[in-house]
Amino acid sequence: MSGIYTEKEKCQVMEDKRIIKTKRSLKAAMIKMLEKESFESISITELCREADVSRITFYSHYSDKYALLDDIFNDLLIIGTEDYQRRQRENNQRNSLVAGYVNVLDSILKLYYDRFDFFRHTNPEKNPYLASRYYSIVLETVEKHTAHVKERLRLKYSPKKIAGFMCFGLFGFINESREEKTPIDQIEQEARMLLTDMLRSGVLTENEGNPARKNG
């Protein structure tokens, strides 16, 4: 009957809950330890002590601390992707070029500041591996969106080149804004304006009656 578990199924559910709880503890421990030391200096022994799990338990879930970190990034990527897809459904049903990229920007910035407890540790000087992983994920996200744009618009450059140009610009803009102690809401507003102006200029698309303006 529906809704009734067998003993085997009940055990599986309990095991799944234990796994989720253990992984959550390890992820929380990693983020907490990043407040005190660099990622490279964190040992599995220290991590397990902080999470109150054994080394055997750790290695039953992750091959090393890099795999754990990748799992944290994957969790955040899912959240960011769902937010982007929701924005696309709600305010970009006509597939506007400008609105689409603004939705990418807004979802990236929202996730960054919502989970600043983690992302503030992606400083390339202190944690180069975290910075590299974060940049590669953002790059892949923008490249994937650009590949969809290419299906309906003629672009002057490849999705990878466009993604690289936008991501370097975005990170540079955010970093310089933080150096100038610009308020978060102002950073978001100015980044959105800059991106919108660039896209409406037609700098990315072939000049066929300026499709950027048509799709803006």
pLDDT tens track for 41-65: 999 999 999 999 999 999 999 999 9
Q: What is the per-residue pLDDT for 207? A: 60
Question: For residues 10-40, b (16+ Cβ closer than 10 Å) or e, as one string?
Answer: eeeeeeeeeeeebbebbbebbeebbeeebbe
- Domain ranges in the chain are 18-61, 69-214
Q: What is the per-residue pLDDT for 16? A: 77
For residue 7, what are its two tokens? 């003993």
8 A C-beta contact, residue 115 and residue 78: no
- Percent of residues, the chain, with pLDDT higher than 90: 75
pLDDT band at 179 (very low <50, low <70, confident <90, very high): confident
Instruction: Please tell me the least confidently modeled range out of 28-32, 70-74, 129-133, 171-175.
Output: 171-175
Question: In this structure, what are the phi and psi dihedrals at residue 205, rounded to the nearest 5 degrees?
Answer: -105, 150
8 A C-beta contact, residue 132 and residue 107: no
Q: With a cut of 80, say whether residue 213 has pLDDT above it.
A: no
**Euclidean distance between CA atoms 214 and 44, whole angstroms:** 54
Q: With a cut of 50, say whether residue 1 has pLDDT above it.
A: no
Q: What is the per-residue pLDDT for 195? A: 93
**Residues near 41 by Cβ (< 8 Å), separated by ≥ 6?**
none
Q: With a cut of 90, say whether residue 178 has pLDDT above it.
A: no
**Euclidean distance between CA atoms 27 and 46, whole angstroms:** 13
pLDDT tens track for 116-152: 999 999 988 899 999 999 999 999 999 999 999 999 9
pLDDT tens track for 84-98: 999 999 999 999 999
8 A C-beta contact, residue 135 and residue 171: yes
Half-sphere exposure of 22 (CA within 13 A, CB side): 17
**Averaged pLDDT, 151-180:** 91
18-61 CATH choice from 1.10.10.60, 1.10.4160.10, 3.90.70.10, 2.40.50.140 = 1.10.10.60
Q: With a cut of 50, say whether residue 182 has pLDDT above it.
A: yes
**Euclidean distance between CA atoms 105 and 80, whole angstroms:** 10
For residue 95, what are its two tokens? 């597939």
**Averaged pLDDT, 189-213:** 80
Q: Fold for domain 69-214?
A: Tetracycline Repressor; domain 2 (1.10.357)
Q: With a cut of 80, say whether residue 113 has pLDDT above it.
A: yes
Q: Which residue has the tokens 């990229």?
A: 101
Mean pLDDT value across the chain: 89
